[in-house]
Amino acid sequence: MLLKHREEFWWFPHMWSHMQPHLFHNRSVLADQMRLNKQFALLYEAWKSVWGIQVTSTEEYPHLRPARYRRGFIHNGIMVLPRQTCGLFTHTIFYNEYPGGSHELDRSIRGGELFLTVLLNPISIFMTHLSNYGNDRLGLYTFESLVRFLQCWTRLHLQTLPPVPLAQKYFELFPQERSPLWQNPCDDKRHKDIWSKEKTCDRLPKFLIVGPQKTGTTAIHFFLSLHPAVTSSFPSPSTFEEIQFFNGPNYHKGIDWYMDFFPVPSNASTDFLFEKSATYFDSEVVPRRGAALLPRAKIITVLTNPADRAYSWYQHQRAHGDPAALNYTFYQVISASSQAPLALRSLQNRCLIPGYYSTHLQRWLTYYPSGQLLIMDGEELRTNPAASMESIQKFLGITPFLNYTRTLRFDEGKGFWCQGLGGGKTRCLGKSKGRRYPDMDTESRLFLMDFFRNHNLELSELLSRLGQPMPSWLREELQHSSLG
């Protein structure tokens, strides 16, 4: 009967013999299975895995339970809608043999789980099976009864749409769900069971260095690379060596793309993989995305005087030929009005906004417990990096413990700390690091001291609540503010 009336149905894609495509890691083998699927049922022309599918559904995102939290997302142009369960499976074909008794099915319909699912979800998608339309025809009984109950006891206006318009309507209602939120497949048994057996979760980092920019994060990255138990991500050829996965278009390339930047650790228990992306710190989306994929990761941030950080960024942009930085003085940049040219305001934002330290830290603390966040003093890192590296090793619980007092040496010519090689030789960061430039002018210094005053006060209060020590530069800034 279904085949006879197939043109009257709207079809979601399915696979021949319940073949599970997510278990395949080889595209050619998967394509062979797709061709078998096509031979099996030509009526599934809407299934376009290699022919351009537009919409499908899942009950596994972000998790199977609780069902009310299921959400949709769009990935690689495919709209994925949240699918709900209705209590009908391939084996539920007789009314009197329904698990728990027929009254359980009726209770679900008449005010129970199935009723509440429709009531609380503006768009509901249910999957039934061919066997539900034979025997006692529980598929027809269930949904005819549900519609009658809804019409009797609610004022809901029920409508239906084909899959593609339905998906478009869903994302009109929930535009914030367009972007997927990647999670660790090994944290959910059901997700792990449907993941390719050839993949591993061991290639995800144990900690992140999140910035902000121009505070010394590259130096920490360099110093950590000297530790035998610590391994950094491979450099990205397109984003200035940093992966920048969580805060830009790279995120939509998925976790397979992300994990390809990390080696398989020789010992997942004792080896520490990490990445450094200094643009993560002040991003509005990174903390949530990071916590979804790496909920147990440690987070390291380095804070310097925000005025000095702003000036360093301005000089960095001048060195890289930014027209706004070349055409305007630093004071003109930081004091520009809202009517200033777009390029000038953009540079101003990158100078100032990362310095709202307490605002950004509180966003991170929304998703990570304070015990997983290390807030480092950038001034200590500059003058006594061995002490800073000792703090990092203790925070991460790294063994063996590396004595950086013996490992690092101050290079008088470079003007910063490097790896000591013996014989008076050193290995240092590249020419772009430790760049020398004129001191900040007094007018800009006073402007920024006033501009960041409240932000610095909020930072001191936050650190006090967290029981974290106050950086030396912050103590000095607050003293100057009180004297002023």
- Which residues participate in the annotated binding site? 312, 417, 433-437
> Which runs of consecutive H residues, i.e. helices, occur in 250-356?
254-259, 286-293, 306-319, 323-327, 330-334, 342-352
**Contact assessment for residue 292 and residue 183, using Cβ atoms and an 8 Å cutoff:** yes
Active-site residue (options: 197, 199, 206, 214) = 214
Give the residue among 389, 388, 375 at the shortest CA–CA distance from 460.
375
Query: Which DSSP string do the residues of 85-145 spell out, in sequence order?
Result: --S--TT---GGGSTT-HHHHHHHHTTSHHHHHHHH-SS--B---GGGGSTT-HHHHHHHH
Q: Examine residue 469 and say whether the peptide bond preceding it is cis (omega within 30 degrees of 0).
A: no
Sheet strand arrangement including 55-58: 55-58, 78-82, 73-75
Residue 58's beta-bridge partner residues?
82
Give the residue among 217, 215, 274 at the shortest CA–CA distance from 245.
274
Question: Interior CA angle at 217 toward 215 and 221, to 5°?
Answer: 160
C-alpha to C-alpha distance for 107 and 98, rounded to whole angstroms: 12
- C-beta neighbour count of 368 within 10 angstroms: 19
**Token pair of 169 as six digits:** 């309507």
Binding residues for 3'-phosphoadenylyl sulfate: 312, 417, 433-437
Is 214 among the residues known to form the active site? yes
Residues labelled catalytic:
214
